[in-house]
Amino acid sequence: MEYNILSFIYLLASVTFIIGLKMLSHPTTARKGNAVAAAGMTLAIFGTIFLYNEEGASLGNYGWIFAGLAIGAVVGTLAARRVKMTAMPEMVSLFNGMGGACAALISIVEFDHLMHLPGLSGLLLVLMSASALQGLLLIILLGLIIGSVSFAGSMVAWGKLNGSLRDFSFRGQQAFNIALLLLILGLATYLIVAMPANALPLFYVIFALSLLYGLFFVFPIGGADMPVVISLLNSFTGVAAACGGFLYDNKVMLTGGILVGAAGTLLTILMCKAMNRSLTNVLIGAFGGNTATAAAGQSQGSYKEISLSDAAVVMSYANKVMIVPGYGLAVAQAQHACHELEKLLTAKGVEVGYAIHPVAGRMPGHMNVLLAEADVSYEKLLEMEQANEEFPTTDVVLILGANDVVNPAAKTDPGSPIYGMPILDVELAKHVIVNKRSMKPGYAGIENDLFFRPKTSMLFGDAKKVLQDLITEVKNS
Amino acid sequence: MSTVFNWIHTHQAIIYIVVLMIFVGIEVIGSVPSVLHTPLMSGANAIHGVVIIGAIIVMGKAEADNYLALALGFLAVVLGTLNVVGGFVVTDRMLEMFSKKKKSS
């Protein structure tokens, strides 16, 4: 009876996951959708604790289970509540890694459990047919490999996003990675097919190699592409969770895991599409931080600089100013200063708006979240199509650390890697002021012709510092 | 070859779930606007925290003298809970930003 109730709870939870995910993909229902999925998850967790039983025996070790739940819940809530809005993606990456590690640990314990039964060969005689055992091994190994790769990869992604790790690659890394992956798959196949008497050391070797592969998988990918990688690893962890579902014949783990695996993969592809790149391109990093391409376009004529006070004057006396935020703004944490400047200009009678490119900051929705944190009113954020209609009547466009999303090469140069990506037509405005830290090209590693156009003037420096100085200048002018 | 068919036959229900869920997963988020990519990723991240259930089962089944299972199971429960709780809370915080601004405008 109790166990039947649990089946019903699992069914309910699976449905909440689907509905939750569906609601999460619409702006008006998103928050509720998250709550629905969370409620289903809570139900499934407590249902498992109290109602689960296997061959008549219910679960024990309640003290341990509740202690673990309590620690995880407290630490998780605190970490998630305290983290700054700008650090959101790295937090997601960290939590994703935890899930991957959890899946890997389950595999380790279950494998160890198998080994402590009369050994693989003994088990074979007593319990099950060879193919059933092999199926079990396959699932355990899959959970281990995918979980470990997801864990190690997420940790690297986390490190890269918070700046403690740099991009790292060496000659022939792609070949090395493929060889490593083949080695892992080879060893796993050997373990499953040959079922050696003492498989434990081999199992740990596979574990170690999987961790290593996770590291080297993410190391060479440019820091700016991390959101795509996190999304991909996210779907990996989903599949790892689904392996657990296979292992325990647990439908809710299976549904949840596969659902995330499929949705995560599609989401990864959608993210790449929004940047007009293919997934392979992101993963192999064809032009991520490639110095050769950057140097090639360096001899592009001259640009002109504008002084802070001139920039302040131009903006104070404009009718309409559009701000184009980019990754530079996020890095400098300049969203509050940006809002400050916006308020100041509005007080002077200037109409101020923000033009948000869908992939500004190379993370979809990044700028919206960031500016929302600084209390910028939602109606001031214009999407690309709206913004492009506004530019012809705009006096000054202030570009803050955005580069590729305003690069005219996307329209004019079929040879450019970003050719075809929709951009913000800032050139339709009367003046363009570009704030950048230096003349270095953006993340796509390509020269931006915009900086050399006669309408454009450059304002070098850290976005936050420049904005603060601009605020002082505008106040005085 | 016959083992493969046998395997499919004995695991029919599960295989149906996998295949159907793949389509559901793709269908459900097919039309998501790019602004919601990040919160959606974060929400999906919390949902795969369902792996916690496996961790609870491991922990609950561990014999009192099996220290490896106890220690790793405990760690798995902690990490899994982190994934679930942290995941949902972070997603909620992201979405809070959106909804608050919408109402005030």
Name the pLDDT band for A294 (thresholds 50, 70, 90): very low
Taking residues B19-29, report their average pLDDT: 92
Q: Which pLDDT does position A442 carry in this prediction? A: 62
Q: Which pLDDT does position A123 carry in this prediction? A: 56
**ipTM beyond 0.85?**
yes
Nearest to A372 among B25, B76, B98 (CB): B98
Q: What is the chain B residue with the closest CA to A240? A: B51
User: A127-136, A396-405, A420-429 — which is least confidently predicted?
Assistant: A127-136
User: A290-299, A394-403, A428-437, B4-13 — which is least confidently predicted?
Assistant: A290-299
Nearest to B22 among A49, A116, A258 (CB): A258
Burial environment of residue A429 by CB neighbours within 10 A (0 to 12, 13 to 18, 19 or more) = buried
Taking residues B38-53, report their average pLDDT: 93
Residue A38 near residue A73 (C-beta atoms within 8 A): no
Amino acid at A238: G
* pLDDT higher than threshold 50 for residue B102: no
Q: Mention every residue, 6+ apart, whose C-beta is less than 8 A from residue A415.
A: none
Alpha carbons A364 and A74: distance in angstroms, whole number: 29
Taking residues A247-252, report their average pLDDT: 91
Q: Where are the domains of chain A?
A: 1-82, 90-284, 296-476
* pLDDT higher than threshold 90 for residue A266: yes
Alpha carbons A4 and A122: distance in angstroms, whole number: 33
Name the pLDDT band for A359 (thresholds 50, 70, 90): confident
Of A269, A292, A251, A278, the residue nearest A9 (C-alpha): A251
Catalytic residue among A404, A413, A425, A449: A404
For residue A53, which phi and psi values (nearest 5 degrees)? -150, 150
Nearest to B41 among A92, A245, A258 (CB): A92
User: A182-191, A255-264, A301-310 — which is least confidently predicted?
Assistant: A301-310
Q: Give the gap in angstroms from C-alpha B31 to the nearest C-alpha of chain A.
A: 7
Q: Looking at beta carbons, which residues of chain B come within 8 Å of A34?
A: 39, 43, 46, 88, 91-92, 95
pLDDT tens for residues A84-110? 777 788 899 999 999 999 999 999 999
Of residues A76 and A381, more confidently modeled = A76
Of residues A373 and A475, more confidently modeled = A475
A64-to-A32, A123, A250, B41, B58 alpha-carbon distances in Å: 32, 29, 22, 31, 11
Q: Mention every residue, 6+ apart, whose C-beta is less than 8 A from residue A286.
A: A417
Structure tokens at A199: 């498989």
Taking residues A227-238, report their average pLDDT: 93
Does residue A404 carry a catalytic annotation? yes
Taking residues B43-64, report their average pLDDT: 93
Nearest to B36 among A30, A59, A62 (CB): A30
Q: What is the chain A residue with the closest CA to B55? A: A106
Name the pLDDT band for A297 (thresholds 50, 70, 90): very low
Amino acid at A182: L
Q: Which pLDDT does position A214 carry in this prediction? A: 95
Q: Looking at beta carbons, which residues of chain B come within 8 Å of A35?
A: 92
Q: Give the gap in angstroms from C-alpha B74 to the nearest C-alpha of chain A.
A: 6
Q: What is the chain B residue with the closest CA to A30? A: B95
Q: Which range among A15-29, A287-301, A448-462, B22-36 has the greatest average pLDDT? A: A15-29
pLDDT tens for residues A406-460? 888 888 877 776 777 788 888 889 889 998 887 766 655 677 888 888 888 888 8
Of residues A438 and A158, more confidently modeled = A158
Alpha carbons A186 and A74: distance in angstroms, whole number: 41
Alpha carbons B54 and A253: distance in angstroms, whole number: 8
Q: Which pLDDT does position A454 carry in this prediction? A: 84
For residue A298, which phi and psi values (nearest 5 degrees)? -70, -25
Is B28 close to A22, i.e. CB distance below 8 A? yes
Q: Which pLDDT does position A134 carry in this prediction? A: 83
Share of chain B above pLDDT 70, in %: 91
Is B18 close to A61, i.e. CB distance below 8 A? no
Instruction: Using DSSP, state whether B15 is helix, strand or coil.
Output: helix
Of A191, A188, A115, A101, the residue nearest A153 (C-alpha): A101
How high is the mean pLDDT of chain A? 85
Taking residues A325-344, report their average pLDDT: 86
Q: Which pLDDT does position A285 carry in this prediction? A: 57
* pLDDT higher than threshold 70 for residue A124: no
Structure tokens at A49: 């604790």
User: A75-79, A182-186, A370-374, B74-78 — which is least confidently predicted?
Assistant: A370-374
Q: What is the dihedral of CA A450, A452, A456, A461, to 10 degrees?
A: 90
Q: Give the gap in angstroms from C-alpha B48 to the nearest C-alpha of chain A.
A: 5
* pLDDT higher than threshold 80 for residue A48: yes
Of residues A273 and B44, more confidently modeled = B44
Q: Which pLDDT does position A255 carry in this prediction? A: 94
* pLDDT higher than threshold 90 for residue A115: no
* pLDDT higher than threshold 50 for residue A289: no
Q: Where are the domains of chain B?
A: 1-31, 33-104
pTM for the structure as a whole: 0.80
Q: What is the CATH number of domain A296-476?
A: 3.40.50.1220
Largest CA distance in chain A: 89
Alpha carbons A423 and A440: distance in angstroms, whole number: 20
Taking residues A271-275, report their average pLDDT: 78
Of residues A54 and A382, more confidently modeled = A382
Taking residues A212-229, report their average pLDDT: 85
Token pair 């100041």 in the structure block, residue = A344
A90-to-A29, A138, A228 alpha-carbon distances in Å: 25, 32, 12
Taking residues A374-385, report their average pLDDT: 84
Sign of CA dihedral A123, A129, A134, A137: negative
Q: Give the gap in angstroms from C-alpha A393 to the nearest C-alpha of chain B.
A: 24
Of residues B50 and A312, more confidently modeled = B50
Q: Which pLDDT does position B99 carry in this prediction? A: 61
* pLDDT higher than threshold 70 for residue A291: no
Taking residues B58-82, report their average pLDDT: 91
pLDDT tens for residues A52-84? 887 777 888 899 999 999 999 999 999 999 887
User: A104-108, A232-236, A366-370 — which is least confidently predicted?
Assistant: A366-370
Of residues A420 and A261, more confidently modeled = A261
Q: Mention every residue, 6+ apart, whose C-beta is less than 8 A from residue A133.
A: A120, A123, A124, A127, A195
Taking residues A185-213, report their average pLDDT: 91
